[in-house]
């Protein structure tokens, strides 16, 4: 199995790769862990988000701890989130 390395610095997050995990905090205080994956992986645990998903697109390029907003794909309004941690999968 690949080794995971935890990144907790405040440098910009430029890209995610399949296999990376992100810990996201939603504005209401809910904290979720997601793995960046492919559509064929969607029923795995932790939950998968694809590189093409609205959430993943929104957090590309943000900084750790920075609150960002993006249009909700399921209802009117915006969703506000921040990336708390990134766990990079190393080959």
pLDDT of residue 28: 95
Predicted pLDDT at 27: 95
Token pair listed for 6: 């935890």
The pTM for the full model equals 0.77
Residue 11 has a pLDDT of 56
Q: What pLDDT, on a 0 to 100 scale, did the predictor assign at position 42?
A: 63
CATH class of 3-81: alpha beta
pLDDT tens digit string along 3-55?
A: 444 444 445 555 788 889 999 999 999 999 999 988 776 666 778 888 889 99
Report the alpha-carbon distance of residue 11 to residue 42 in Å, rounded.
29
Name 43's bridge partners. none
């Amino acid at each position: 199995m690949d080794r995971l390395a935890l990144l907790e610095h405040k440098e910009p997050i430029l890209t995610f790769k399949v296999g990376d995990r992100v810990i996201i905090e939603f504005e209401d205080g809910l904290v979720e862990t997601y793995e960046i994956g492919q559509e064929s992986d969607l029923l795995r645990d932790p939950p998968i988000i694809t590189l093409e998903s609205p959430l993943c697109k929104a957090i590309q390029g943000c900084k750790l701890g920075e609150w960002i907003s993006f249009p909700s794909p399921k209802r009117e309004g915006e969703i506000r989130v921040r990336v708390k941690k990134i766990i990079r999968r190393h080959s």
